[in-house]
Chains A and B, each alone.
Chain A
Amino acid sequence: MISMVLTLLRNPLVLAVIKMFVAIGVVMSAVPMLVWLERKLSARFQRRIGPNRVGPMGLLQSIADAIKLMWKEDFFPRNTDRLIFLAAPIMAFLPGIISFSLIPVGQAEGAEWLGPNGVMAVSYLEMGLLVMMAVSSLASYGLAFGGWASNSQYPLLGGIRSSAQLISYEIVMGMAVIALAMKSGTLNLSEIATQQQGWYLPHWNLFLQPLTFLLFLIAAFAETNRAPFDLPEAEQELVGGYHTEYTGMRYAWFMLGEYAGLWTMCSVIATLFLGGWTLPAAWMGWVGHFPWFVAALISFGIFIAKVVALVFFFMWVRWTLPRFRWDQLMKLGWTILIPLALANILITALLMEYGGLYVR
């Protein structure tokens, strides 16, 4: 029976379909947990208790919310462009899942049929990092078009803000990635992760490229629209911004998209800067003794632990820092971060040519 299943798994087409479902399943099961975590953490940061009625520790609160949202009235504002109004929440949601499929989540040593070197990912693109940037740059269209299609002033402002913010910070992120790609010599995400394994901690790109990490992190905050960069929704100024006119399940798609984007962005940062599924010390030696599925589970667990730690950091920042003013956001992006990113490329190039720090 088990051998039959294993033979079936070795069929590349079957394997690809299963991997896709697993990737979607990971994101879709992570999102309600993230919503719960955010509510619990924000409550703790504000000395409240948070949801604690549905399920143990309020764990089922997200499911209760989802059921509530599904039964809410399906509301259309007057004179809207219905097609775009309907499509916008889906456009905001899809990029999160698509870019997660590019990220290697673990390594099963000795299971070559699972992928090259047993690395577990849906796709092993040579230009994975570039594809990831391309897909995630499409995420803000959902916000922009949703805000426009609502036919209302506050959502329109939110949509315009989201597009302007994305233009500014996408450049910073792209330039940060250039420095990282120069150092790594590849755009393949699993290769970048594998390069960072080693016996001591400073193999991580976080320590080799601290300025790149800082720039990428700030741009990631801006791209996921989280505080202090949550200007597109800004409850106090824009009454919720782009999703003001959305109700029920369509509003839920926006929320799902936001948390799926957060999850994917944290996975990307973990892969690029924290070594992905690898542990800094003594990892390669002992894992070879395990059967492949134990190695797969351990490495997947390490990866998830890193991502959850990053998610915690993102939430911590959100409930600690106040929101930027609009002109501060633009000034930070164009006059500080972009010159800094250019300088970072120059520094990396000099270090590679003369410093001998990044010898491959």
Chain B
Amino acid sequence: MPPLLIDILFAAAAIGVLVLSLAVVLVKNPVRATLLLIASFLPVALLYIMMQAPFVGILQILVYGGAIMMLFTFVIMMINPAPKGGEIPGEAAKPFGPVRMIPWLLLLIAAGFTIILPVYRAAKTLAPVAVSKPGFGSLASLADLLFKDPMNNPFTVSFELISFLILVGIIAALNFSRRRGATGKSDAVV
């Protein structure tokens, strides 16, 4: 990939991430915020792909964009906290306006320097590496890194331990959400 193309793609993705995620916070309507959050995952995925980690980028869309945000959408629509299309009554003053925008802009610049700049450096340095080494960042190399020589591989152990942690989390969540005296009968709500 020519360096100029990397710059252009990166600029588009970075501006997309910053603007969309700022909008998630500033927009008052929760459903719109959900939609913006889903949209902000697409440039995030692009950033991962530009850092030669396509697997993480695709999982960002598949797991977060597809599954977890669908769960968020489901819950927000079930609760339905705001009158549709309108404002929440008694809402504080609008966050926009010339003076009120200054802290948001400062936040945007700070995020740009602390998060986006290292990503840019990584994308720039990894692009020639990927050209010189075929298979760099591919699924096979990732699998090798995680599971090759499992006895002496530090990643394998931590990987398996994390999966146990998630399992424990699921069981705990199930246990907490179970009502006392529940008969096990399903109550169809929707």
Closest-CB distance, B145 to chain A (whole angstroms): 16
Asked if A330 is an interface residue, CB under 8 A from chain B, the answer is yes
Query: How close is B65's CB to chain A, nearest CB, in angstroms?
Result: 6
A residues near B83, Cβ cutoff 8 Å: 79
A160 and B32 contact, Cβ closer than 8 Å, known pairs A79-B85, A134-B65, A170-B66: no
Residues of A contacting B71 in the complex (Cβ-Cβ under 8 angstroms): 163, 167
A149 to B139, CA, bound (A): 40
Contact surface of A with B, Cβ cutoff 8 Å: 79-84, 87, 126-127, 130-131, 133-135, 137-138, 140-141, 144-145, 147-149, 151, 156-157, 159-161, 163-164, 166-167, 170-171, 174, 187, 325-327, 330-331
- A79-B85, A167-B74 given as contacts; is B65 within 8 A of A138 (CB)? yes
Closest Cβ of chain A to B49, distance in Å, is 11
Q: Is the interface of B mostly helix, strand, loop or mixed?
A: helix
Q: Are A331 and B74 in contact (CB under 8 A)?
A: no
A254 CA / B31 CA spacing, docked (Å): 20
Q: How far is the CA of A187 from the CA of B84 in the complex (A)?
A: 42
In the docked arrangement, what's the CA distance between A327 and B138, Å?
A: 42
Contacts of A131 in B (CB 8 A): 58
A334 closest partner in B (C-beta): B186
Contacting residues, chain A, for B85 (C-beta < 8 A): 79-82, 149, 151
B residues sitting closer than 8 Å to A (CB atoms) are 29, 31-32, 35, 38, 54-55, 58-59, 61-62, 65-67, 70-71, 73-74, 77-78, 80, 83-86, 138-139, 186, 188, 190
Residues from chain A with a CB closer than 8 A to the CB of B138 are: 126
Question: Which 4 pairs, one residue from A and one from B, show the smallest C-beta to C-beta distance?
Answer: A137-B66, A134-B62, A81-B85, A327-B188
* 26 A–B contacts from the bound complex (CB under 8 Å): A79-B83, A81-B32, A84-B35, A126-B54, A126-B139, A127-B55, A127-B139, A131-B58, A134-B65, A137-B65, A140-B70, A141-B38, A144-B70, A144-B73, A148-B77, A149-B84, A156-B80, A159-B77, A167-B67, A167-B70, A167-B71, A167-B74, A170-B66, A327-B186, A327-B188, A331-B186
Residues of B within 8 A of A167 (CB): 67, 70-71, 74
Give Cα A290–Cα B73 distance, bound, in whole angstroms: 53
Residue pair B35, A145 in contact (C-beta under 8 Å): yes
A127 to B190, CA, bound (A): 36
Question: Nearest Cβ distance between residue A78 and chain B, in whole angstroms?
Answer: 10
A122 vs B61: C-alpha distance when bound (angstroms): 21
User: How far does the alpha carbon of A138 sit from the alpha carbon of B186 in the complex, in Å?
Assistant: 28
Known: A164-B190, A166-B70. A134 touches B61 (CB 8 A): yes
Per DSSP, chain A at the interface is helix
> What CA separation (Å) do A148 and B31 show in the bound complex?
9
Please determine whether A130 and B66 come into contact, CB atoms closer than 8 angstroms: no
Beta-carbon contact of B84 and A80 below 8 Å: yes
Q: Report which residue of A79, A82, A160 has the largest number of chain B beta carbons within 10 angstroms of its beta carbon.
A: A160
Once bound together, how far apart are the Cα atoms of A144 and B65, in whole Å? 14
Determine the distance from Cα of A166 to Cα of B73 in the docked complex, in whole angstroms. Answer: 12
Contact B190 A133 (CB under 8 A): no
CA distance A79 to B84 in the complex (A): 7
Known: A126-B139, A130-B62. 12 other contacts (CB 8 A): A80-B85, A130-B55, A133-B66, A144-B74, A144-B77, A145-B35, A148-B84, A167-B71, A170-B67, A187-B139, A327-B188, A330-B186
Measured between beta carbons, the chain A residues less than 8 angstroms from B65 are 134, 137-138
Which residue of chain A has the shortest Cβ distance to B186 in the bound complex?
A327
Distance from B66 Cβ to chain A, minimum over Cβ atoms (Å): 3
A213 to chain B, nearest CB (A): 21
Measured between beta carbons, the chain B residues less than 8 angstroms from A170 are: 66-67, 70
Distance in angstroms between the alpha carbons of A134 and B62 in the assembled complex? 4
Cα distance, A147 to B77, chains bound together (Å):
10
Query: CB-nearest residue of chain B relative to A164?
Result: B74
